[in-house]
Structure 1
Amino acid sequence: MSVQSPRYDRANLKPGIVHIGLGNFHRAHMAVYLDDLFNLGLDHDWAILGAGVRAGDARMRDALKAQDCLSTVIELDPAGKSCRRVGSMIDFLPVEPDNASLISAMSRPDIRIVSLTVTEGGYFINAATGQFDPTAPEIVADSASPDAPATAFGAIIKALKMRRAAGVQPFTVMCCDNLPGNGHVTHAAVSGLARLSDPEMADWIDANVAFPNAMVDRITPATGPRERALAASFGLDDDPVPVTCEPFRQWVVEDIFPAGRPALERVGVTFSDQVHAYEMMKIRILNGGHAIIAYPGGLMDIEYVHEAMANPLISALLDKVEREEVSPFVPPVPNTDIPAYYDLIRARFSNPEVADTERRLCLDGSNRQPKFIIPSVRDALAAGRSARGLALVSAMWCRYCAGTTDSGAEIAPNDPNWDALQALALQAKDNPQLWLNQRSIYGDVADNAGFAADFTHWLNSLWAQGTANTLKAWLAE
């Protein structure tokens, strides 16, 4: 099987972007779009300098530097796998506690975009308020030592200060993480941290630095032995960090780049002032759909997402909840048919080649439920409609957090707050309202008597007769 290599001379690339967080998603998404653009012979002054701010990022740096910063990306199309070497990153900066090399690189005039994928939980958001948390220990530490920052946001502020002092235009800060209003969230983190030690600099950032919102989408499983074996099947035995992904990808971005940007519209990126509409559709239908199928699969000892989709009970659950309680409250999206989009999501979830795991979908429910499920609940209730299926989804999350599957198998910790969630889930077996009293997750939804009654009914049913029988009962209603 052949491997596609860059069709451009990488020696002629010049950096224009510093990207912080070189995980699988970035290397299967933004790096691929840029690789496509460079293959057209365009914008070779927009190559990526990779960076990381965590000690663990040094391992990725070592692996990528050993292969000349090339990333192996394998697209898992059921009609046939394809493999490419992506060459859009030309260096990976040293990973240092004070981020000195990162700050120095971002201060260079040729760097016009700083982008980030630091995970949804990496933006120091207070779960109770949904706002930037200035009391987070890492933020407090950076505010006390702004010249030797440990966080990505502290490093960005320091580099912006250096550019300002040198009379260099500020770079654009572009979040590529899966967050509602991700540009606003990133702006809040950068400005909020600056305000703690230098309010005048925070005002300057607010007035001069662009933070475009973006919607990003591509299912990208974690790398393990299966993914390495796939890379080896293409003759790439030397690659310890291959990326596998589905064929589909999407990127919708606000066109707010005062310092310039690459012509990504030439390779399929949508520039739009309605990112929020695309974003809501994706978060409610795709990410919400993941949460809908995650916990029944986890409780029924199903390993892979495509296997969950092949289960008639879980498939019917997804259909009924999406069509009756989620999609009706998704506003119109430019040039998009919502039912057709849902059909596309079903097909993507069912792709057996991706081999995405139910456990990955179950990860970090305390962060994902309030973003992907509860907003749909709130909209349905506000419209006077039933959210009974979503109450069942939430009850299955609670039952999952009790730490055992229906067969009695132990569930390994799968949330940053696992210990607290497990203790609360076990208490909720006798008093379900205790679970709903998590205001940081449910907010005012916990006060809705109808939702609470539905949640209580389903949680009791899950404990009494198991997931499969509970799904049968709901589908028969």
Structure 2
Amino acid sequence: MNEKIKLQSPKWLHFGAGNIFRAYMGKVQQTLIEKGLENSGIVVAETFDGEIIQKAFKPYDNKTILVTLDKKGEFKPEIIWSIVESIDVTSDGMSIVEEICQDEKLQIISFTITEKGYSFRDGIITSDHLMSKVTSLLYSRYKKNAAPIALLSMDNCSANGDKLKNAIVSVAQEWVKNDVVEKEFLDYLLDEKKVSYPITMIDKITPRPAIEVKKFLEEAGFENMDIVITSKNTYTAPFVNAEVPEYFVVEDKFPNGRPKFEEAGVILTDRESVEKAERMKVTTCLNPLHTALAIYGCLLNKKTIAECMQDQVLSNLVRKIGYEESLIVVENPKIIDPKKFLEEVLEERFANPFIPDQPQRIATDTSQKVGIRFGETIKAYVADEKLDVRNLKYIPLVIAGWMRYLMGVDDSGAMMTLSSDPLLEELKANLNSIKYLDSSSYEKGKLNKILSNKNIFGVDLVQIGMADLIEEYFLGMMKEVGGVRKTLERIL
């Protein structure tokens, strides 16, 4: 298949060789090639974990087996061959990438590098940071021909294009200040007719490669389907398992042209509609429900999100958060119907037993997520004169569950390992004096130091009057073995 598509003068370069890129963007470009609408493939560059390229791309001629898993248990494999070259930038691939970036036919440089990839630690700009390297590549393009280009973030974070722009511009400003580059280069980066930074909303669950899928492929006759855990703890394989539903909403701003994305199911629209779609997903209809299931899934020893949904009390919880507390504040993006999206999330996506997504994975970095996933809805209640934040019952129940989770003891009384979080030690220290099963060890207001932290929740939960209810729920959960389930059942 690869013979039909061009490596020379590629139009699309992507940074980040992870699962969602392979399963989704690879499929998008392949669809366009098969329709005769594109004649070049994607070049992917990996800047964090070179073993992915060496172990999951190169041995398989950059092809990937995409296995979609529907709720009924049907596994549908297909070979994705639209990725024509893979480059390990962690070793010596930067010169090849620079040559690609200088080609005036290049239309898109895209990214799936996680939200952390756009920020500088302690605000210090270093030359080995990916954003510095990308800025250097853009400078090379500017010096060669100053051709237009779109920088397209596909990461699952709010205003992703703005985060990318801020990072690139910050590097360039530092360089201009230190006379490393001329000011005209900064002008080039800020001219949207030359360099654009569209915002996007991407949504497709692509969990770690599953043993069940490996066995399925081997039984179907595929060889060398081993799952690899790299030295950087990345789980990869020559296949990607993914759910069927997928959404990619893109601000249509491409100064050097673009593929006909709309012919492959991508929604091209204006900035405001992307923002509304992203807000709908991240703050109401998907991500907060995921976090609710993750927290309580850990406490109740659930192995997968689907297993959480099979538990009636957890299923009721996310339905009540979604339909009763969240939809009321959703601003309809029009391009996707919020109620139908929520219904698909609950009935098809979370309930799919063949998507092996773990509560422990989703519980990672919860302190970095709750401000967006719940804080935005809380703030919407506070701001709306017709709504009363004191009527919220189920969102406070999730926050109380997170406080209980931070005690590191599950609902059966067994110690449990907490998922990584940059604030984990600080949060645990605030709860150290509280002893499981000993209500007398709890002093009223003990949770307030956490609950009043606007940096975590985006709002002071004590100030708006939510802390007492959270405290009440929390005490019910910690005073007895089985207290978590009893509290959930009582409230729901």
One fold, TM greater than 0.5? yes
Conservation of the 8 A alpha-carbon contact between 2:100 and 2:106: yes
Alpha-carbon offset, residue 77 of structure 1: 1.4
Separation in 2, partners of 1:98, 1:397: 44
Alpha-carbon offset, residue 303 of structure 1: 0.7
Partner of 2:82: 88
Alpha-carbon offset, residue 9 of structure 1: 4.2
Partner of 1:282: 281
Identity of aligned residues (%): 26
Deviation readout 1:387-432 (Å, 9 max, x if unpaired) = 3311111121222222221123333241232333333343577411
**Which among 416, 424, 434 is matched to residue 421 of structure 2?**
416
Partner of 1:31: 26
Query: Structure 1: which amino acid aligns with 2:59?
Result: A
Separation in 1, partners of 2:50, 2:430: 34
Alpha-carbon offset, residue 93 of structure 1: 1.2
Conservation of the 8 A alpha-carbon contact between 2:200 and 2:251: yes
Instruction: Kindly tell me the number of residue pairs found equivalent between the two proteins.
Output: 450
Alpha-carbon offset, residue 11 of structure 1: 5.0
Alpha-carbon offset, residue 290 of structure 1: 0.5
Say whether residues 1:225 and 2:211 are aligned partners: yes
| Residues 378 and 426 of structure 1, relative CA distance in 2, 3 Å threshold | farther
Structure 2: gaps of 5 or more residues: 178-182, 227-236, 436-441
Alpha-carbon offset, residue 107 of structure 1: 2.8
Query: Structure 1: which amino acid aligns with 2:94?
Result: A
Conservation of the 8 A alpha-carbon contact between 1:297 and 1:308: yes
Partner of 1:128: none
Deviation readout 1:235-280 (Å, 9 max, x if unpaired) = 2222341110111111110110001111111111110111111111
**Which among 93, 98, 111 is matched to residue 103 of structure 1?**
98
Say whether residues 1:122 and 2:117 are aligned partners: yes
Separation in 2, partners of 1:359, 1:307: 13
Structure 1: gaps of 5 or more residues: 1-5, 125-132, 143-149
Partner of 2:152: 174
Query: Structure 1: which amino acid aligns with 2:37?
Result: L
Say whether residues 1:236 and 2:195 are aligned partners: no
Separation in 2, partners of 1:350, 1:166: 52
Separation in 2, partners of 1:282, 1:367: 17
Conservation of the 8 A alpha-carbon contact between 2:371 and 2:456: yes
Query: Structure 2: which amino acid aligns with 1:260?
Result: G
Structure 1 counterpart SS, 2:257: coil
Partner of 2:399: 394
| Residues 357 and 113 of structure 1, relative CA distance in 2, 3 Å threshold | same
Alpha-carbon offset, residue 118 of structure 1: 0.6
Separation in 1, partners of 2:365, 2:147: 38
Separation in 2, partners of 1:365, 1:18: 32
| Residues 397 and 190 of structure 1, relative CA distance in 2, 3 Å threshold | same
Separation in 2, partners of 1:21, 1:439: 32
Partner of 2:16: 21
**Which among 197, 220, 223 is matched to residue 175 of structure 2?**
197
Query: Structure 2: which amino acid aligns with 1:282?
Result: K
**Which among 114, 118, 122 is matched to residue 135 of structure 1?**
122
Say whether residues 1:265 and 2:262 are aligned partners: yes
Separation in 2, partners of 1:451, 1:171: 47
Separation in 2, partners of 1:237, 1:424: 51
Alpha-carbon offset, residue 373 of structure 1: 1.7
Partner of 2:345: 345
Separation in 2, partners of 1:99, 1:192: 25
**Which among 201, 210, 224 is matched to residue 196 of structure 2?**
210
Higher mean alpha-carbon deviation, 387-396 vs 197-206, is at 197-206
Alpha-carbon offset, residue 20 of structure 1: 0.7
| Residues 408 and 227 of structure 1, relative CA distance in 2, 3 Å threshold | farther
Alpha-carbon offset, residue 302 of structure 1: 0.7
Deviation readout 1:426-458 (Å, 9 max, x if unpaired) = 357741112224332123333434211122222
Structure 1 counterpart SS, 2:353: coil
Partner of 1:127: none
Separation in 2, partners of 1:225, 1:419: 33
Separation in 2, partners of 1:187, 1:25: 22
Alpha-carbon offset, residue 177 of structure 1: 0.6
Separation in 2, partners of 1:228, 1:322: 34
Alpha-carbon offset, residue 96 of structure 1: 2.8
Separation in 2, partners of 1:421, 1:105: 46
Report the TM-score when normalising by structure 1. Answer: 0.89
Report the TM-score when normalising by structure 2. Answer: 0.86
Conservation of the 8 A alpha-carbon contact between 2:50 and 2:90: no
Partner of 2:229: none
Conservation of the 8 A alpha-carbon contact between 1:403 and 1:410: yes
| Residues 195 and 411 of structure 1, relative CA distance in 2, 3 Å threshold | farther
Partner of 1:472: 489
Partner of 2:376: 375
Deviation readout 1:39-84 (Å, 9 max, x if unpaired) = 2122113x11111112x23333432111000011100013421001
Query: Structure 1: which amino acid aligns with 2:407?
Result: A
